[in-house]
Amino acid sequence: MHSRAVRERGNTTKRNRLHPAQVVVSGFALTILVGTALLMLPNARVGPGAASFLEALFTATSAVCVTGLTVVDTAVYWTPFGQIVILFLIQIGGFGIMSFASVVGLAIARKLSLRSRMTAAAETKSVGLEDVKGLVVGVVRISLAIEATVALMLALRFMIGYGEPVGRAVWLGVFHSVSSFNNAGFALFSDNLMGYATDAWICLPICAAVILGGLGFPVIVQLRRQLRAQVRQPFRWSIRTWTMNTRIVIAGTIVLLVLGTAYITAVEWSNPNTLGPLGWPGKLLVGFFQAVQTRTAGFNSVDIAQLDSATLLGMDVLMLIGGGPAGTAGGIKITTFAVLFFILWTEVRGQVAVNVFGKRLSRAVHREAITIALLAVGVIITATAVLMLMTDISLDALLFETISAFATVGLSTGITAGLPWGGQVILILLMFIGRLGPITFASAIALRERHATYELPKERPIIG
Amino acid sequence: MHSRAVRERGNTTKRNRLHPAQVVVSGFALTILVGTALLMLPNARVGPGAASFLEALFTATSAVCVTGLTVVDTAVYWTPFGQIVILFLIQIGGFGIMSFASVVGLAIARKLSLRSRMTAAAETKSVGLEDVKGLVVGVVRISLAIEATVALMLALRFMIGYGEPVGRAVWLGVFHSVSSFNNAGFALFSDNLMGYATDAWICLPICAAVILGGLGFPVIVQLRRQLRAQVRQPFRWSIRTWTMNTRIVIAGTIVLLVLGTAYITAVEWSNPNTLGPLGWPGKLLVGFFQAVQTRTAGFNSVDIAQLDSATLLGMDVLMLIGGGPAGTAGGIKITTFAVLFFILWTEVRGQVAVNVFGKRLSRAVHREAITIALLAVGVIITATAVLMLMTDISLDALLFETISAFATVGLSTGITAGLPWGGQVILILLMFIGRLGPITFASAIALRERHATYELPKERPIIG
Ligand SMILES: [K+]
Ligand SMILES: [K+]
């Protein structure tokens, strides 16, 4: 009955399929180091002396990983030069992750479609340099177009509404637009965006940029194609060509935004330190803004430290789920969560196959999703436990901080700067792992060649 | 590309396969109500008047669901009559869950073996009354044998070591033995077992009963068979006949006990309010004891409220995982967690099939395990958020309390009695759902007949 534990081994291909991941991880690390060096220059910091290595490393990592956690006040600690460095680090990080994820997505799609078509031209399996170039150009063009639009709207508002001179208004517009689309959450105000909590002209364009960036590049491309088709044929509206990825991301984004807004607004409705003093349009605007930002961007228009702990717990869930894949969003991604949810739903309804929007969900994806979710939860719990041993801060605040770092959100109850250096190093590692871990790991799983030599007899334990 | 969302439906069988679950859920509810009524009798409570409905309901639910959370002090609030009621409720709850889970396990095994043998004698599919009777008799015999042994050891110690008169020593022995084997965690001392923290003769028999009860009935039966075989042939030691369930539960129990003991002992080593004052044998004994109890029994020999919050977080994980299926343990069960872990491990190693101890893990189990784990986490987070809205208690203590209730552990940082009545009702619901939910739900999933009419085209979203 019991056969010896001889097991098949997955042969990782010899055709260097993992190179893109290695390139990107090294590229991110190198960018962070260069950013750290630049931020340590004396003219990056206001006042005498230079930023410490840890301050610079933390800020550079937070910028490149588009997280937005800070140990110093971006608005007053860094000079305009320092802020420009941060801006570039954010933009490079955003381009980098979108391009990398899109290339990987293309490679996976190629591999799978080849396998199903049973054509064996090995060279077409790998993604050519031409494809990569095309993708990167696409990423850059779309990003810049959206960023320019939002920057213009913000700059106009800063001029008209707040009397800023043109130069400063444009700078504010560009910085916050780039920070928004790349879901970075860095702001040039000491209280982040709390000063503009009820200014819809500031908040809504930022939300639009955040949501678009968080959908992920493949979804943006498909939406753009759809938009063009609608322009040509305005009365033939159809989403038949949408991929399962696009459907899940769009539906998931809508559901999470509606639920998030409802939850945050309801819980905080009469909290005197947050939504309490506002009228109901203000409550709704701030609630919506915070629901949007929590999913990964990390701006805040209320004081996070004043939120009810039930709100923080709900935000933990939103942060962990995050946004769409192959974009600037963090977290385990909507798609990963959706796969787990659809599996649950299938079991509850007693169906045979996991069907999602009229397609059957590939079985290999089940195990990928479990793996990513479990690893994420494991990393977060481990980091939280270590931080608890280091400090006397409450679970509330520490869990929020670690999830915020891992999911590259950047919201904080205000404990970041006060953590011991070991704690800040843990956050740096969490940001890096959270930014590159899921995509690198998931793509390694999906791209690996697997060869089963033979099947073992089947058995099952008791569940539940 | 997109086919209309016509889906197959799982036909729940018409042969009333779900009846055992309905019987057991009603049986548990009825037992709780009868217990509540008995505990509300004036002679169940010390002092004038009777226990309130909520106190009695909470206590009865906690006893029948073998949880051990209390809103009143078991040692001084209840009369000997009240304590006997609690003892019987624990024993009925323990017998009930073990018998039910074993019958369900048998039914699942029958169904699967029939399916694989392709014989279609429908009547043998269902579990006959004879089988049920045999199982229940087995459960009762094994339970009483173990309980009697442990009761004897404890009674002797209470007589010899603490000078208790025979009658009281036997009563203490019987109560704590039954409470241990059924993983209930009720104690007849106001400080639970803190007074016996360094008494190995009290602690180790209790640990043995707890561990055995937590293995689950199928594993106990297999171990007993093994033991008999060893007695006949002492030199032919082999575990070849062990089922995957037994292997996972035994291996998982050892791993969790070792890791749990190491973690708790290390973190609390120099905590002046817990292990600090003890010598190293005492530290190890208390650390081991608490690791054993945390997995589901819920006795405590240190003050839980004094533990480091990092220890509490580690205990949250242990509690959520719980013990073996078809036993008195709670939680999502070792097997459920192990399935998720083995899936992760398979992906990390790039293997094709999830192989566990030389057998291939049935694919249907993947989805069951995800479903149980997700539902458990969802229930716990929801309950925690609601309790946060009701009270000002920290996340630390509330999360510990909800996991303890759901996983029927019964450990508490001491907040149970002080919760508002709504909060106590939530804990009552958590205990009931935590006790019956996973087994009922998992068995419903596993026993349901599924018919796929046709397969939809396959697609996959981007993960990570
Ligand atoms: K961010
Ligand atoms: K218990």
Domain ranges of chain A: 19-234+242-447
Residue B356 carries which DSSP code? Answer: E
Residue A383 carries which DSSP code? Answer: H
Contacts A308 to B, Cβ<8 Å = 388-389
For A140, A232, B102, the CA distances from B120, given in Å and listed in that order, are 62, 59, 23
* B422 CA from centroid of ligand 1 (Å): 37
- Cβ-defined contact of A450 to B350 (cutoff 8 Å): yes
- Looking at this protein, which amino acid is placed at residue B45? R
- Cβ-defined contact of A455 to B313 (cutoff 8 Å): no
* B396 CA from centroid of ligand 1 (Å): 26
Contacts A396 to B, Cβ<8 Å = 394-396
* Predicted pLDDT of residue A123: 40
* Rounded CA separation A289/A151 (Å): 18
* Predicted pLDDT of residue B454: 63
Contacts B384 to A, Cβ<8 Å = 313
- DSSP β-bridge partners for residue A458: B360
* Predicted pLDDT of residue A458: 66
pLDDT tens-digit map of B302-321: 899 999 999 999 999 999 99
Question: Positive or negative, the Cα torsion across A343, A349, A354, A358?
Answer: negative
B240: closest chain A residue by CA = A2
* B248 CA from centroid of ligand 2 (Å): 22
* B428 CA from centroid of ligand 2 (Å): 13
B340: closest chain A residue by CA = A370
Of A293 and B227, which is predicted with more confidence?
A: A293
A163 dihedral zone (left: phi>0; alpha: psi -120 to 50; beta): left
Q: Does B253 touch chain A (CB under 8 A)?
A: no
Interface of B with A in 318-337 (CB under 8 A): 325-326, 332-333, 335-336
Contacts A238 to B, Cβ<8 Å = none
* Predicted pLDDT of residue A192: 86
Q: Does A388 touch chain B (CB under 8 A)?
A: yes
* Rounded CA separation A417/A403 (Å): 17
- In angstroms, the separation between the Cα of residue B108 and the nearest Cα of chain A is 9
What percentage of chain A reaches a pLDDT higher than 70?
87
Contacts A9 to B, Cβ<8 Å = 349-351
User: Would the ipTM clear 0.90, i.e. be above it?
Assistant: no
Band of residue B1 on the pLDDT scale cut at 50, 70, 90: very low
- Between A55-59, A273-277, B85-89, the lowest mean confidence (pLDDT) is in A273-277
* Rounded CA separation B44/B80 (Å): 7
- In angstroms, the separation between the Cα of residue B113 and the nearest Cα of chain A is 10
Q: Does A383 touch chain B (CB under 8 A)?
A: no
pLDDT tens-digit map of A238-297: 777 788 888 899 999 999 999 999 999 999 998 998 888 888 889 999 999 999 999 888
* Rounded CA separation A333/A323 (Å): 5
* Rounded CA separation A416/A394 (Å): 13
- Cβ-defined contact of A385 to B313 (cutoff 8 Å): yes
* Rounded CA separation A234/A227 (Å): 9
* Predicted pLDDT of residue A84: 94
* A86 CA from centroid of ligand 1 (Å): 13
* Predicted pLDDT of residue A136: 80
Closest CA to A260 of A339, A321, A184: A321
B447: closest chain A residue by CA = A350
* Rounded CA separation A123/B377 (Å): 45
Q: Does A460 touch chain B (CB under 8 A)?
A: yes
- Looking at this protein, which amino acid is placed at residue A234? P
* Rounded CA separation B132/B267 (Å): 46
Contacts A391 to B, Cβ<8 Å = none
Contacts B108 to A, Cβ<8 Å = 462
Interface of A with B in 343-382 (CB under 8 A): 343-344, 346-355, 357-372, 374-375, 381
* B431 CA from centroid of ligand 2 (Å): 10
- Looking at this protein, which amino acid is placed at residue A238? S
- Between A222-231, A301-310, B124-133, the lowest mean confidence (pLDDT) is in B124-133
Q: Tell me if B59 sits within 8 A of B427, measured CB to CB.
A: no
Contacts B462 to A, Cβ<8 Å = 101, 105, 108, 216, 218, 245, 325-326, 333, 335, 442
Q: Closest to A396 (Cβ–Cβ): which among B310, B333, B394?
A: B394
Closest CA to B335 of B379, B380, B368: B368
* A20 CA from centroid of ligand 1 (Å): 24
- Cβ-defined contact of A458 to B367 (cutoff 8 Å): no
- In angstroms, the separation between the Cα of residue B464 and the nearest Cα of chain A is 5
pLDDT at B16 over 50: no
Mean pLDDT of B423-434: 95
Residue A18 carries which DSSP code? Answer: T
- Cβ-defined contact of A354 to B367 (cutoff 8 Å): yes
Question: Which pair of tokens denotes residue B129?
Answer: 């009354």
pLDDT at B17 over 60: no
Question: Which pair of tokens denotes residue A254?
Answer: 């809508």
* Predicted pLDDT of residue A31: 94
Closest CA to A360 of A339, A330, A377, A341: A339
Residue B122 carries which DSSP code? Answer: G
Of A330 and B118, which is predicted with more confidence?
A: A330
pLDDT tens-digit map of B153-166: 999 999 998 888 99
- Between A306-310, A445-449, B397-401, B427-431, the lowest mean confidence (pLDDT) is in A445-449
pLDDT at B367 over 90: no
- Cβ-defined contact of A241 to B370 (cutoff 8 Å): no
Q: Does B313 touch chain A (CB under 8 A)?
A: yes
* Predicted pLDDT of residue B458: 66
- Cβ-defined contact of B343 to A371 (cutoff 8 Å): yes
* Predicted pLDDT of residue A18: 46
Q: Tell me if B385 sits within 8 A of A384, measured CB to CB.
A: no
Q: Tell me if A67 sits within 8 A of A431, measured CB to CB.
A: yes
pLDDT averaged over every residue in chain B: 84
What percentage of chain B reaches a pLDDT higher than 70?
87
* B184 CA from centroid of ligand 2 (Å): 4
B380: closest chain A residue by CA = A313
Q: Tell me if B388 sits within 8 A of B395, measured CB to CB.
A: yes
Return all residues near B194 (Cβ < 8 A) that are at least 6 apart: B300, B301, B302, B303
Question: Which pair of tokens denotes residue A406?
Answer: 């891992």
User: How is the beta sheet containing B359-361 ordered, strand by strand?
Assistant: A458-459, B359-361, B355-356
- Cβ-defined contact of B367 to A369 (cutoff 8 Å): no
Mean pLDDT of A208-230: 86
- Between B184-188, B226-230, B460-464, the lowest mean confidence (pLDDT) is in B460-464
Closest CA to B295 of B438, B404, B174: B404
* Predicted pLDDT of residue B127: 53
Of B102 and A174, which is predicted with more confidence?
A: A174
* A150 CA from centroid of ligand 2 (Å): 57
* Rounded CA separation B256/B262 (Å): 10
Greatest CA separation for chain B: 81
Q: Tell me if B368 sits within 8 A of A350, measured CB to CB.
A: no
pLDDT averaged over every residue in chain A: 84
